[in-house]
């Protein structure tokens, strides 16, 4: 359960209602002959923070499960992901590269810097494309999207990298985190 200020949640719920409509799905009129709109997933992004107060209201990577017994993004997984991101480079592409944490490394290593900036509900992950489903199958998934946000001399910086935590909401994962 997310207990922090989740401004915009009502907008997300309203958007679901607008997309699905009273008949349970949205679609074009028969006169236009446009294929019906198919809602394969729902994504919601929070508004970018415009003040230090906005940044402080955002949910951090320290978020715990409803009973408070453990973090949604366990510390050992957080640390492993950041280390892997710093150690991995892309070669053989048009623009070989590596994620550079150096300027903000100290901040990025703090779970409080990583803010929940969005979520995605996908009933057919890894996607609704028939080829993917044939090859990999599909499962309903909730994805939480975290992004580092820093304050430097009163100026807000939303960094151009994200971490996506994917959870099955039908079959619990056999992996248990302490």
pLDDT tens-digit series, residues 106-139? 999 999 999 999 998 887 777 666 777 778 777 7
Q: Does any domain span residue 4?
A: no
Percent of the chain with pLDDT over 90: 37
Q: How confident is the model at residue 33 (pLDDT cuts 50, 70, 90)?
A: low
| Residue 115 counted as domain residue | yes
Supply the pLDDT for residue 31. Answer: 53
Determine if the pTM surpasses 0.75. Answer: no
Q: Provide the residue range defining the domain that includes 126.
A: 9-21+40-88+98-168
Considering only residues 1 and 114, tell me which one the structure prediction assigns the higher pLDDT. Answer: 114
Number of compact structural domains in the chain: 1
Give per-residue pLDDT as tens, 134-167. Answer: 787 777 888 899 999 999 888 999 998 899 998 8
CA distance 28 to 31: 8
85 or 147, which is more confident: 147
Is position 3 within any domain?
no
Residue 2 lies in a domain: no
Q: Is 27 among the domain residues? A: no
Q: Is residue 15 part of a domain?
A: yes
**In this structure, which long-range contacts are made by residues 49-57, counting pairs with CB atoms below 8 Å and at least 24 apart in sequence?**
49/115, 49/149, 49/156, 49/158, 50/156, 51/156, 52/151, 52/154, 52/156, 54/156, 55/115, 55/149, 55/151, 55/156, 57/4, 57/5, 57/7
| Higher-confidence position of 21 and 100 | 100
Two tokens at 27? 């679609």
Which of 41-50, 81-90, 122-131, 149-158 is predicted least confidently?
A: 122-131
| Residue 161 counted as domain residue | yes
State the Cα–Cα distance between residues 150 and 56, nearest whole angstrom: 11
Among residues of the chain, what percentage have pLDDT more than 70?
Answer: 68
């Amino acid at each position: 359960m997310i207990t922090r200020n989740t401004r915009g949640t009502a907008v997300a719920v309203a958007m679901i209602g607008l997309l699905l409509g009273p008949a349970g799905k949205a679609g074009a009129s028969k006169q236009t002959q446009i294929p019906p709109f198919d809602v394969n997933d729902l994504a919601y992004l929070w508004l970018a923070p415009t003040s230090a107060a906005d940044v402080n209201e955002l949910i951090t990577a320290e978020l715990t499960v409803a009973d408070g017994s453990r973090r949604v993004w366990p510390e050992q997984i957080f640390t492993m992901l950041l280390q892997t991101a710093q150690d991995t480079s892309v070669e053989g592409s048009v623009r070989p590269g590596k994620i550079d944490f150096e300027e903000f490394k100290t901040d990025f290593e703090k779970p409080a810097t990583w803010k929940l900036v969005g979520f995605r509900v996908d009933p057919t992950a890894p996607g609704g494309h028939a080829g993917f489903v044939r090859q990999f199958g599909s499962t309903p998934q909730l994805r939480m999207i975290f992004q580092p946000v820093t304050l430097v001399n009163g100026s807000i910086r939303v960094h151009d990298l994200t971490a996506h935590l994917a959870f099955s909401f039908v079959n619990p994962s056999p992996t248990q985190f302490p």
